[in-house]
Amino acid sequence: MTQKNLSCDILIAGAGIAGSALACALRDRGYSVVQVEMSDRPLDTARGDHFQCVVADILDRWGALPAFWAAGAEKRHAALYVTETGAPLLDVDYSTLPIPHPYYIYLHHELLGETFLKLAAENPNYVLFRPARAREYDVGPEGVRSLTINLSQDAPAPEGFAPGDTVTIVPRLAVGADGRTSRAREALGFTYDEHEYDNPIVALFGPRLPSDDDPRNTLTSFLGPNGSISRIPRAFGGWKVGTTIRKADIAFWKTATLKMRKAAVAKLAPELEALDLEVGGFYPVKLLNTHKWVRGNAVLVGDACHAMHPARGQGMNVAIRCLDKLVNLLPDPKEIADPETVAKRLRAYESGVKPAIDKVLADNHARGQAYDSHDPAVVAESIEMFKAIQQDPERLRTYRMGSAGYADPISSAAAG
Ligand SMILES: Cc1cc2nc3c(=O)[nH]c(=O)nc-3n(C[C@H](O)[C@H](O)[C@H](O)COP(=O)(O)OP(=O)(O)OC[C@H]3O[C@@H](n4cnc5c(N)ncnc54)[C@H](O)[C@@H]3O)c2cc1C
């Protein structure tokens, strides 16, 4: 049990999807990377589990795709909007789009994280402290000077360290990837706007039925007078079903029998009554947008700086698209010891990419509010919008490209 110091090129606080994806992207670029994750449990399976087509392209460039197929990832070729009785409104088919990977990739959230971390460990200069909480930052105008962590007494420590050690990490560049309640954000003094949506989301899980067989592995969203509900394909033959519920109804969903759950789901989409669904969890939904991302040598990524409503399945996808821009702007390992260069590159990243994310958040918020609303008039408006898009070939193509992650503000963000 001793005090040790550890210098590194890049410190990453948090190993959710944003932190683990970053460690993966950095693995073959010559940096020494230290990652600190407070939880030793798998990530929550109900969270984001579908990578957009554009993210498939990024993973391909990172040399990461084979590892995801090996972990059991599957392809989804379409998203379909239908009425509550299943009448088609809008068919967002990706398969004929002129893009390198015309499909979404889906895999359980915790397996996405594990796969990224397995790849990150290929870096010979990578150390993961887990479980260890990143709390004690020494911060100045130049960013993060150091972070001191206490290693658990009860878990094995990485080579060269022992359980119970106190380690002071001195990074050349520090990344806060510690999620919506980010301690890094607080330590660095970043201010933010936030909006709490009225209604939480309930996530339900169940097996697919033989009659659900579908070569496109379609994600179907049902819209009707009682609200909307989505049936989302899950790897290894399952469904995830998600809908917004009133806070007061959480008690009902916690105690409902299978028969009661079937009846509640059938009110939104009679077709879903056939599914044997178990409750996976309840999610209060918040938008959070920090006013800045960068201070000196420190930068925030993922939900720590831009948490959004899951209605459009964007949070994790946006994070990875930002990371792709960030890693391309980092000083190379020879230059990273120069604090001026680090700060300049991070500022270039912020000024190039943040305006695009502000637009994405505004657009996401509009959709989030519609999804949050239980007002039949709002759902009826969405139905009319989807019908109009389906009937106009140009709008339909733009919508499909946007949904795939192309031709949107992030694609055109000039980082650098
Ligand atoms: C129900 C639901 C469905 C969703 N569906 C989608 C979807 O389909 N598509 C999509 O793109 N997004 C989706 N999202 C959003 C997506 O899951 C998140 O945007 C994404 O997981 C955020 O990743 P993150 O790594 O930034 O944050 P987090 O997942 O919160 O990870 C932060 C990590 O940091 C660790 N940590 C926190 N504090 C500390 C500390 N002090 N020290 C060390 N470690 C710390 C945590 O333990 C955690 O592992 C969904 C979200 C929800 C709730």
Place of tokens 């887990």: 130
Domain at 3-72+107-195+286-372, CATH from 2.60.40.10, 1.20.1050.10, 3.50.50.60, 3.40.50.10540: 3.50.50.60
Rounded-to-integer distance, Cα 297 and Cα 304, Å:
16
Q: Which ligand 1 atom minimizes the distance to the CA of 20?
A: 25
The tens digit of pLDDT for each residue in 29-62 reads 999 999 999 999 999 999 999 999 999 999 999 9
Q: In this structure, what token pair is assigned to residue 161?
A: 């360290």
Q: How far is the CA of 98 from the centre of ligand 1 (A)?
A: 31
Of the residues 17, 54, 133, 181, which should be mutated to test ligand 1's pocket, given the most ligand atoms within 8 Å of the CB? 17
Interval 272-284: pLDDT, tens: 999 999 999 999 9
Q: pLDDT higher for 75 or 413?
A: 75
Share above pLDDT 90 across residues of the chain, in percent, rounded to a whole number = 93
For CATH 3.30.9.10, list the domain ranges present in the chain.
77-106+198-284+375-407
Query: Which of 11, 34, 47 for mutating ligand 1's site (highest number of atoms within 8 Å of CB)?
Result: 47
Query: Alpha-carbon Rg of the chain, whole angstroms?
Result: 22
The pLDDT of 229-255, averaged and rounded, is 96
Distance of CA 279 to the CA centre of its chain: 21
Q: DSSP letter string over 169-227?
A: EEEEEEEE---TT-HHHHHHT--EEEEE-SS-EEEEEEEPPGGG--TT--EEEEEETTE
pLDDT grade, residue 373 (50/70/90)?
A: confident
pLDDT in tens, 322-352: 999 999 999 999 999 999 999 999 999 999 9
- How many residues are recorded in the chain? 416
Ligand 1 centre to CA of 43 (Å) is 8
Cα torsion 110, 112, 116, 118 to 10°: value is 60
Rounded Cα gap, residues 164 and 167, in angstroms: 9
Query: 137-153 burial, b if ≥16 CB within 10 A, otherwise e?
Result: bebeeebbbbbebebbe
So what's the pLDDT on residue 367? 87
Ligand 1 contact, 38 CB (< 6 A): yes
Whether ligand 1 lies within 6 angstroms of the CB of 320 is answered as: no
Cis peptide upstream of residue 284 (ω within 30 degrees of 0): no
Instruction: Tell me the sheet residues that pair with 194.
Output: 288
Strand partners, 146: 138
Least confident of 241-255, 307-321, 400-414: 400-414
Ligand 1 pocket, residue 47 CB under 6 Å: yes
Measured between alpha carbons, how far is 95 from 103 in angstroms, rounded to an integer?
6
pLDDT tens digits, residue range 393-403? Answer: 999 999 999 99
Architecture of domain 77-106+198-284+375-407: 2-Layer Sandwich (3.30)
- What pLDDT, on a 0 to 100 scale, did the predictor assign at position 371? 83
Q: Is the pLDDT of residue 136 over 80?
A: yes
Which residues belong to CATH 3.50.50.60 in the chain? 3-72+107-195+286-372
Distance 110 CA to ligand 1 centre (A): 10
Arithmetic mean of pLDDT, 100-125: 98
The percentage of residues in the chain with a pLDDT greater than 70, rounded to a whole number, is: 99
Ligand 1 pocket member 133 (CB < 6 A): yes
Q: Is 133 exposed, middle or buried (0-12, 13-18, 19+ CB in 10 A)?
A: middle
Q: Which residue has the tokens 């460990």?
A: 121
- Residue to substitute in 178, 188, 202, 283 for testing ligand 1 pocket (most ligand atoms within 8 angstroms of CB): 178
Return the ∠ at Cα 217 (arms to 216 and 223), rounded to 5°: 105
- Global pTM exceeds 0.85: yes
Positions of E strands within 24-108 = 33-36, 50-51, 74-76, 78-83, 88-93, 104-106
- Of 12, 39, 316, the one to substitute when testing ligand 1's pocket (max ligand atoms within 8 A of C-beta) is 316
- Write the burial class of residue 161 (CB in 10 Å: 0-12 exposed, 13-18 middle, 19+ buried): middle
Residue 16 CA to ligand 1 centre (angstroms):
6
CB of 408 closer than 6 angstroms to any ligand 1 atom: no
* Residue bearing the CA closest to ligand 1, atom 29: 16
Residue with CA closest to ligand 1 atom 31: 16
Residue 415 has a pLDDT of 62
